[in-house]
């Protein structure tokens, strides 16, 4: 199957988390790592059709200090709703995150009684920092086929975008 035609853009990830992922992947290139977008809303397309190693979703990321610019790209190869993890799953994921990504602060907001929930746990790999970052308006939203808005004032949230061709993306890598 490979990479899906629909990609996801996530607005405003802490760069220290991404740099930590790059450091691990420099030594263990295919290691799955984790991102936890801070939202109580599910990423519906991932929840309804979870990605896998064979059926990945391209991921575009901006950082909290430069919201309208895509600075990283990677792949989502797994998804979990943190509210639905068994105790055993949560314990294993907690150990992995604390060990490999200490700046991520462990598996957070996994209990539904916490004030602000974080539902989505993304399993990511092949994260790369772009040599030439590009404006988010280069990505086109799937529902409207229009360029993504540059009006990025706060971090958080995601949108579904068309996955550009490998040739198009190669000029930024």
Tens-binned pLDDT, residue by residue, of the chain (173 aa): 789 999 999 999 999 999 999 999 999 999 999 999 877 788 999 999 999 999 999 999 999 999 999 999 999 999 999 889 999 999 999 999 999 999 888 887 665 555 557 889 999 999 999 999 999 999 999 999 999 888 877 777 899 999 999 999 999 99
pLDDT at 111: 56
User: How many residues are there in the chain?
Assistant: 173
Tokens of 20: 């930590």
pLDDT at 151: 82
Residue 112 burial (CB count, 10 A): 10
pLDDT at 167: 93
Tokens of 83: 């509210």
The C-alpha torsion from 17 through 136 and 122 to 171, rounded to 10°, is -80
pLDDT at 110: 60
Kindly state the helix (H) or strand (E) to which residue 15 belongs, with its residue range. Answer: helix 15-27
Q: How far apart are CA 59 and CA 75, in angstroms?
A: 5
Q: Which domain holds residue 140?
A: 2-170
Q: How far apart are CA 64 and CA 27, in angstroms?
A: 26
Indicate the number of domains in the chain: 1
């Amino acid at each position: 199957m490979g990479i899906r035609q629909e990609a996801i853009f996530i607005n405003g990830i802490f760069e220290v988390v991404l740099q930590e992922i790059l450091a691990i992947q420099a030594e263990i290139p295919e290691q799955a790592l984790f991102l936890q977008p801070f939202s109580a809303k599910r990423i519906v397309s991932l929840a309804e059709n979870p990605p896998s190693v064979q059926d990945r979703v391209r991921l575009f990321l901006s950082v909290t200090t430069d919201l309208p610019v895509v600075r990283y790209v990677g792949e989502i190869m797994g998804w979990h709703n943190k509210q639905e993890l068994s105790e055993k799953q949560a314990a294993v994921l907690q150990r992995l995150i604390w060990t490999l990504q200490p700046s991520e602060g462990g598996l957070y907001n996994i209990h539904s009684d916490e004030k602000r929930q974080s539902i989505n746990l993304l399993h990511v790999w092949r994260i790369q920092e772009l040599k030439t970052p590009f404006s988010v308006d280069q990505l086109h939203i799937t529902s409207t086929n229009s360029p993504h808005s540059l009006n990025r004032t706060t971090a958080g949230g995601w949108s579904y975008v068309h996955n550009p061709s490998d040739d198009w993306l190669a000029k930024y890598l």
